[in-house]
A = this chain, B = another copy of it.
């Protein structure tokens, strides 16, 4: 069945590529309200394409933030039902000066399609939508039941996603989430995304006095808020990067030999990885880098500020210091518990008398993990092995895809990430690009995966192989 669909997609390839370019031309930046009209334009473009393709119920799902684009086709009774996920929002294009061609004018150079959102994740989203459209055009239906769900707030942390699920729960019932976001973990071996770390956030302010002082008049006899902040933040890790917060991660799933082996199975050259980024080693040296990045939690200072930060010297003794912290959570960790342990550590380690103000609970989401015995994963690996003629690997990501955790928690569904983005495509940075070879590959592997999943009954789909 998929061969005819693949042939149809190949024949339509240039038209589909033009559609992707049109979508990239729409600057759908979700984090900045100035781009609201473009967010709407991106939604309308996708909505129209879904209607044109035959999704009669294509519609917007409203929540507390940017609406999601939704469409369903439920004409395969007894077959699995999948939420096919993508997102239409993109990161801001700043710093603009570093782009070699304008971020919202797609340009092809050396087999790469440049433009903001090309890799993250308009490319893979268009592949997913066009695959479904081709099935409807060629076969009059899809191999599985489908609920298309294209989010508009992924790039700003999915703040309204829970409200959409709460309001439209019945439209999102499915056996699994199949995500076009969450691409390859490697440029040299094919991978399927089977998990991501969770996330939690905390913002803090220290106050050592009601107001700043003159460093000559008070210096040497009163505490300095910046020094206290430095000492407090320095207490979070030892010199090698091991977290020193009591109980932090004690609720994490113990890392088994099987988990270590899975992390080690994916070819990964640690020295090359450090050389590529230019960063310095950190974290428990008895863990592999892959384990540190995907199975261990982190506490990361994302921002820190206080006192005088302008040009020249100011002899101020600062009374106030600020920091922003996010934590990546290992599988099993509860975001609220992680926050609570960090709060307890900060309260226990702050010097007596120093006022410590911590932000309210900012939510967060747990890690997500797809069971390695899930038939969806077996099918995906087989499709990639056929496409590439080499072994494919399940891979966890260090980042967080909130929808995977939120749909698991609220709708009870497992998630698999089958995106085409490669890790070197400068997402969230200038000169983002998407390989045309990946574009073409997706127009073969997405039809094959859907066909393979359609060969299973809904019951078989849910049966985890514990072998």
Residues on A lying within 8 angstroms of B by beta carbon are 30-33, 91-92, 94, 98, 156-157, 196-197, 199, 201, 208-224, 226-227, 229-234, 236-237, 239, 241, 274, 277-283, 289, 292-293, 296-298, 300-319, 321-324, 326, 328, 351-354, 362, 397-400, 423, 426-430
Q: Out of B217, B289, B314, which one reaches A91, CB within 8 Å?
A: B314
- Which residues of chain B are within 8 angstroms of A318 by Cβ–Cβ distance? 301-303
Smallest beta-carbon distance A271→chain B, Å: 12
Indicate if the CB atoms of A215 and B298 lie closer than 8 Å: yes
Q: Out of B234, B315, B428, which one reaches A214, CB within 8 Å?
A: B428
Smallest beta-carbon distance A399→chain B, Å: 3
Copies of this chain in its oligomeric complex: 2
Indicate if the CB atoms of A302 and B277 lie closer than 8 Å: no
CA distance A283 to B13 in the complex (A): 68
Indicate if the CB atoms of B302 and A314 lie closer than 8 Å: yes
Given A92-B308, A211-B430, 7 more contacts at CB 8 Å? A32-B311, A196-B216, A212-B429, A223-B280, A230-B231, A300-B317, A303-B314
- Which residues of chain B are within 8 angstroms of A233 by Cβ–Cβ distance? 226-227, 230, 234
CA distance A201 to B73 in the complex (A): 66
Smallest beta-carbon distance A367→chain B, Å: 11
Looking across the interface, which residue of chain B has its beta carbon closest to that of A323? Answer: B226
Indicate if the CB atoms of A216 and B303 lie closer than 8 Å: no
Indicate if the CB atoms of B91 and A328 lie closer than 8 Å: no
Smallest beta-carbon distance A96→chain B, Å: 12
Q: Out of B293, B352, B427, which one reaches A220, CB within 8 Å?
A: B293
